[in-house]
Amino acid sequence: MCGIVGYIGEKQATTLLVDGLKRLEYRGYDSAGVSLMNGNGLETRKAKGKIAMLEQAIASDPIKGKIGIAHTRWATHGPPNECNAHPHHDCKGKISVVHNGIIENYGPLRAMLQKTGHVFVSETDTEVLAHLIEAAFDGNLEDAVVDALALVEGTYGIAVLSADDPDKIVAARKGSPLLIGIGEGENYVASDVAAILAHTREVVYLDDGEMAVLTRDGYSVCDLYQQTVKKGVSRIDWDLDQIEKGGFDHFMLKEIMEQPQTITNTMRGRLVTEEGFSKLGGLNLSMEELQNLDQIIITACGTSWHSALIGELMIEEHARIRCEVEYASEFRYRNPIVTDKTLCVVISQSGETADTLAAMREAKRRGARTLGLVNQVGSTIAREDDGGIYLHAGPEIGVASTKAFTSQVIALALLTLKLGRLRNMSVVQGRDIAQAMEALPAQIQSILDRASEVETIAEAFSDATNFLYLGRGYNFPVALEGALKLKEISYIHAEGYPAAEMKHGPIALIDADMPVVFIAPHDSVFEKVVSNVQEVKARGGRVIAITSREEPSLAGKIDYEFRIPETIDMLNPVLAAIPLQLLAYYIAAKRGLNVDQPRNLAKSVTVE
For residue 69, what are the β-bridge partners? Answer: 6, 35
How far apart, in whole angstroms, are the C-alpha atoms of residue 45 and residue 38? 12
Q: What sign results for the dihedral spanned by CA atoms 173, 81, 195, 381?
A: positive
Contact, 396 vs 349, CB < 8 A?
yes
How far apart, in whole angstroms, are the C-alpha atoms of residue 109 and residue 132? 8
Cis before residue 87, ω within 30 degrees of 0? yes
DSSP alpha helix (H) spans, 24-104? 51-60
Residues 156, 169, 222: CA angle, nearest 5 degrees: 65
Question: Got the DSSP string for 368-403?
Answer: -EEEEEESSTT-HHHHHSSEEEE-------SSS-SH
- In Å, what is the CA distance from 182 to each residue of 216, 270, 521? 10, 33, 51
Helices and strands in the chain: count of H runs, count of E runs:
18, 26
DSSP secondary structure code for residue 207 in this structure: P
Contact, 456 vs 582, CB < 8 A?
no
DSSP secondary structure code for residue 70 in this structure: E
**For 37, phi and psi rounded to 5 degrees?**
-85, 110
The 10 Å CB-count burial string (b at 16+, else e) for 261-291 is ebbbbbbeebbbeeebbbebeebebeeeebe
Q: Pairing relation of β-strands 202-205 and 179-182?
A: antiparallel
First vs last Cα of the chain: how many Å apart? 11
CB neighbour list of residue 282: distance below 8 Å, 6 or more residues apart = 387, 388, 389, 390
The 10 Å CB-count burial string (b at 16+, else e) for 569-590 is bbbbbbbbbbbbbbbbbbbbbe
How far apart, in whole angstroms, are the C-alpha atoms of residue 300 and residue 305? 5
The total number of residues shown for the chain amounts to: 608
Please classify residue 38 by burial: count the beta carbons closer than 10 Å to its beta carbon, then call 0-12 exposed, 13-18 middle and 19+ buried. middle
Closest to 564 in 3D by CA, of 582, 552, 547, 583:
547
Closest to 243 in 3D by CA, of 31, 19, 29:
19
Could you list the active site residues? 2, 603
In three-state secondary structure terms, 280 is coil
The 10 Å CB-count burial string (b at 16+, else e) for 487-514 is bbbbebebbbbbbeebeeeebeebeeeb
In three-state secondary structure terms, 179 is strand
